[in-house]
Amino acid sequence: MPLDYAGAALGAAFGEGFADFRVVVKYVVDRARLFKPILKRLESTLDRLVPTVIEIGRLSEQLTLPEVETRSLIEHMKKGENLVRKCSKIPWWNYLFKVYYSPKLKELEDEIVRFCQVDLQVHNTRNGLRTLETVISISKRMGSFRVVETPTGSSHGVAGPQDLIVGLDMPIKELKTLLLKKEVQLLLLTAPGGCGKTTLAKMLCQDEEIKGTFKENILFVTVSKTPNVKLIVQNLFNYKSLWLGFQFQSDEDAIDNLPQLLNNIGPDPILLILDDVWLGSESLLEKFKFDIPDYKILVTSRTAFPRFEFTYHLKPLNDGDAMTLFRHSASLKEGSSYIPPEEDIKKIVRGCAGFPLVLKVIGGSLCRQKAEVWHSRLMNWSDGQFFFNSDTVLLDQLQNSIEFPDDKVIFKNCFMDLGSFPEDQRIPAAAFIDMWAELYELDEDGIQAIANLQELTNRNLASLVMSRKDASEVNNYYNEDFVTQHDILRELAMYQGSQGLREQRQRLIINISKNNPPKWWTEQKQQLFNARLLSISTDEFFLSNWCNIQAPKVEVLVLNFQTQNYALPEFTEKMDELKVLIINSYGFFHSEISNFQLLGSLPNLKRIRLEKVSISSLYKTYVPLKTVKKISLFMCNIGKAFENCTIQVSDALPNLTEINIDYCNDLEEFPIGLCDIAPLKKFNITNCHKLFALPEEIGKLVNLEVLRLRSCTDLSELPDSIRSLHKLSILDISDCLSIMKLPKHIGEMCNLKELNMKGCLRLRTQFPESIMDLEQLKLVVCDEERAKLWDPIKEILSNLEVLVAEKDINLNWLPK
């Protein structure tokens, strides 16, 4: 890099001496093996000082340079040049000379750095205009980025948490244990906004064991939504006084220089904390990973970045800790002007659902308020109003958690749709597959819907639980998977969906408590709504006294109730655009439903999902559902419902292509009437433990492509007529404990590609000879014992993969 030697003679002499010295060091560094480490460091130091030296030359006429120190330094550089030349001639094996010359080289490096970063900077401050210009420039470049902090006890101390801290004793132990594991270099600390991630990270900095391990080498940086890599690195250099005024040319230049800093800040281990990293910045985290001994990175984020192996999920506070924090925030102590009844306090704390931020904000808003204010807030909240309606501070704090770019707006819509189901309930993932396939035109198999749920899970806005890994990962079966959501996040979803005029909203979510519908619903005038999604939830006191509304554009109707007798709303009959009907009974007993005949007039109804409903009651007033393509029955009482219809099932459901029957405990015999539905492509009967036999008529389903009989533990065999299912590509008999043999003519299922037989413990005999004819079979999932039976077959079917399923022991699959 050329130097500008114009200006005062002293400045020119300094620049010339520096340039000559730098050239010699670069020439010798690879030739003096004995001194290579210290010469490499000296070379790097000189490279980083080039801009400073250029600045000296440019400002030589304007600045009064420290003449005595500058002349002395010039002499040092000349001597250093001779010293480096001597080092290049010393044999590599002569360690006596290394002991003699190494301290001299280190002293020379320190003298140069001290002059450029201390003496020169002191004299530069005399130039007021230059200082002002620098300050303004730095201020503009810093933007919203905060300066690097280090642990309390140094001049750059991280401020510890200032407010009362509760419920973090166990998390700090668990986080610390995980962080200090040898194999962990990058640890992600994740939770929804307002759960205390930053507080926990700052507590970690104050922990005696952490301070004892990392000493002064704990670096804490708060990252903005649009992080600037150059500024992060510049701040880190500034922390160790290895940079003052140095300008990196690019992000890559900054990252390239960062290992030099990390290697030189001392022999102790290093902990870099990157706080509040936003979605889209995961690639930034990769840039800070280096192969440096005892170097660790802790990242806090609202997003659970799936690419990182080690993650700690911070959970909300338990009831006791939440109560303590709320009482403190609301100043509920002796001498307070008003202390509400204990039950009222518990109601509010339960509503805050363990979020420290919510507890502090709501508690603070009620601090030292009179009794009337407390009563008013409780009345509003009990009437279904949101916390966010009465506290904009809380809304501002959590709102940015659901900010999505324009090309990802579907995720925000999906998030708001989660509010369509009651709180504290497990929501079947299959329900969202049905909803979103119609609302957002996602794929029928649910792959895109599950991807959206996974994205919300990564953002800590929901939690997708895969109950059986072998089911969902092998053949995209999601009927046993479910979604949960924190109450505060559900309330946030409902609040977001409730904005704007009620008549113009895309989703209308109605909660009716104690048979008291909202006032606007009981008005005499007919109201026209444009919502595409309508959700109505009622409690055990509801009497099915429906008010009349007009919602002709509704495509998805979700009905959640707790009563044992339930009537479909009369206005359902006029929902000509309705495509998806989801009915969920959350009561203790199965529910009887009336008015089912209203569905017969709907021209676009495609999907029906019923949970905990007595199906036999539906067929007392059964009507043809000619447009329905998919029916899902979960935990329903089926009995002999399909056999007692007034019309043939095939006439009632002439276009049905998929049926799912799950956890229907009274199902003992396969519904023969369903075997007459020629268009049927997918048939899933799972977790029906009393089902003991399949009829021979199943062979009539010649268009069937998928047959799942998972966990039908009493099913003893497959009928030989299954040989007629020439289009069947997936057969799942996993965990069918009673099956002892495969059908003799199974080889005639010429299109079979996947066979899941994991957990068929009584299937021990050799397979029928015809199995060699399954030329299209590509994947078999089984356990180790069954895998041995496939060994001779793999020699014939060369393209066959036999996958031994890992043992997945959990209780996720149990109904709540």
Q: Apex CA 558: angle with CA 554 and CA 562, to 5°? A: 150
The domain boundary, picked from 397, 428, 455, lies at 397
Neighbours of 30 (CB within 10 A): 12
Considering the domain boundaries, does residue 4 fall inside one? no
pLDDT of 382 reads 64
pLDDT for residue 130: 44
How high is the pLDDT of residue 651? 85
Q: Is 386 in the same domain as 410?
A: no
Q: How far apart are CA 708 and CA 698, in angstroms?
A: 13
Q: Which of 284, 313, 342 is the last residue of a domain?
A: 313
Strand order across the beta sheet in which 427-428 lies: 427-428, 482-484, 463-465
Q: What is the pLDDT of residue 714?
A: 94
Q: Among 625, 660, 695, which residue terminates a domain?
A: 660
Q: Residue 236: is it exposed, middle or buried by C-beta count within 10 angstroms (0-12/13-18/19+)? A: buried
Residue 567 is assigned to a structural domain of this protein: yes
Q: Is residue 2 part of a domain?
A: no
Q: Are 718 and 642 in the same domain?
A: no
Together in a domain, 82 and 153: no
Mean pLDDT, each 10-residue run in order, the chain (816 residues): 40 63 66 65 69 56 50 68 69 54 69 61 45 38 36 42 79 93 92 87 90 85 77 70 60 79 74 85 82 88 87 91 88 75 86 83 82 80 61 68 79 91 88 95 90 88 78 70 84 82 87 82 73 92 83 94 90 93 91 87 94 74 84 88 72 92 89 90 94 92 95 93 95 93 93 93 89 93 90 89 78 52
The two three-digit tokens of residue 87, written as one number: 């080092």
In a domain, 791, yes or no: yes
In angstroms, the CA 616 to CA 622 distance is 10
* Same domain flag for 526 and 637: yes
Tell me: do 358 and 464 sit in the same domain: no
Residue 637 shares a structural domain with residue 704: no
Output the pLDDT for position 610. Answer: 95
Kind plus residue range of the DSSP H or E element containing 319? helix 319-329
Which residue in 408, 358, 390, 377 sits closest to 495, CA to CA?
Answer: 390
CATH number, domain at 690? 3.80.10.10
CB 192 within 8 A of CB 157: no
On whether the CB atoms of residues 242 and 250 are closer than 8 A, the answer is no
Burial string for 447-479 (b: 16+ CB within 10 Å, else e) reads ebbbebbebbbbbbbbbbebbbebbbebbebbb
How long a stretch of residues is the chain? 816
- Whether residues 624 and 522 fall in one domain: yes
Helices (H), 330-477: 342-352, 356-366, 371-382, 387-390, 392-399, 409-417, 429-439, 447-458, 469-475
Q: What angle do CA 524, 530, 532 make, to 5 degrees?
A: 125
DSSP state of 115: I
Q: State whether 43 and 122 are in the same domain.
A: yes
Residue 472 forms part of a structural domain:
yes
- Distance between CA atoms of residues 187 and 784, nearest Å: 35
End-to-end CA distance of the chain: 70
Q: Are residues 226 and 332 in the same domain?
A: no
Reduced to 3 states, what is the DSSP secondary structure of residue 274? strand
**Measured in whole angstroms, how far is the alpha carbon of residue 230 from the centre of its chain?**
28
Q: Which helix (H) or strand (E) holds 418?
A: none
Do β-strands 779-782 and 580-585 pair in parallel, antiparallel, or remain unpaired?
A: unpaired
pLDDT at 474: 58
Containing structural domain, residue 632: 500-660
**CB within 8 A of 264, min separation 6: which ones?**
41, 240, 242
Domain of residue 463, CATH code: 1.10.10
Count Cβ atoms below 10 Å from residue 378 Cβ, excluding itself. Answer: 16
Block residue for tokens 């962990």: 184
Per the structure block, which two tokens stand in for 324? 């303590």
Our count of domains for the chain comes to 6
Phi-psi region of 657 (alpha: psi -120 to 50; beta: other; left: phi over 0): alpha
How far is it, in rounded angstroms, from Cα 396 to Cα 402? 11
Query: Hunting for tokens 């507590």 — which residue is that?
Result: 203
SS3 per-residue string spanning 609-622: EEECEEHHHHHHHC
In contact, 599 and 578? CB cutoff 8 Å = no
Give the separation between CA 625 and CA 522, rounded to whole angstroms: 32
Residue 174 domain-assigned? yes
pLDDT at 620: 58
Which string of DSSP letters, residue by residue, matches 184-218?
Answer: -SEEEEE--TTS-HHHHHHHHHH-HHHHHHHTT-E
* Cα gap 299→273, rounded to integer Å: 6
Q: Do residues 688 and 620 both lie within one domain?
A: no
Q: For residue 143, what are the contacts with CB-CB under 8 A and spacing of at least 6?
A: 224, 228, 231
DSSP string covering 37-80: HHHHHHHHHHHHHHHHHHHHHHTTTTS---HHHHHHHHHHHHHH
Residue 815 lies in a domain: yes
**Strand, helix or coil for residue 140:** helix
CATH at 558: 3.80.10
Neighbours of 815 (CB within 10 A): 12
* 382: exposed, middle or buried (Cβ count in 10 Å: 0-12, 13-18, 19+): exposed
Provide CB contacts within 8 A for 504, sequence distance 6+: 530
Residue with tokens 């029957």: 661
Whether residues 377 and 420 share a domain: the answer is no
Residue tagged 């244990």 (tokens): 177
* Amino acid identity for residue 774 in this structure: L
Phi and psi angles of residue 409, each rounded to the nearest 5 degrees, phi first: -65, -20
Cα Rg, the chain, nearest whole Å: 35
CA angle 349, 351, 354 (to 5 degrees): 65
Between the alpha carbon of residue 226 and those of residues 197, 223, 234, 238, 281, the distances in Å are: 20, 8, 16, 21, 8
**Distance from C-alpha of 494 to C-alpha of 477, rounded to nearest angstrom:** 29
Helices H, strands E: what count in the chain?
26, 23
pLDDT at 436: 95
Please indicate, yes or no, whether residues 429 and 558 belong to a single structural domain of this protein. Answer: no
Q: Would 627 be classed as within a structural domain?
A: yes
Kindly tell me the burial class for residue 506, based on how many C-beta atoms sit within 10 Å of its own C-beta (0-12, 13-18, 19 or more): middle
Nearest to 773 by CA among 733, 805, 743, 803: 743
CA–CA distance, 773 with 781 (Å, rounded to integer): 18
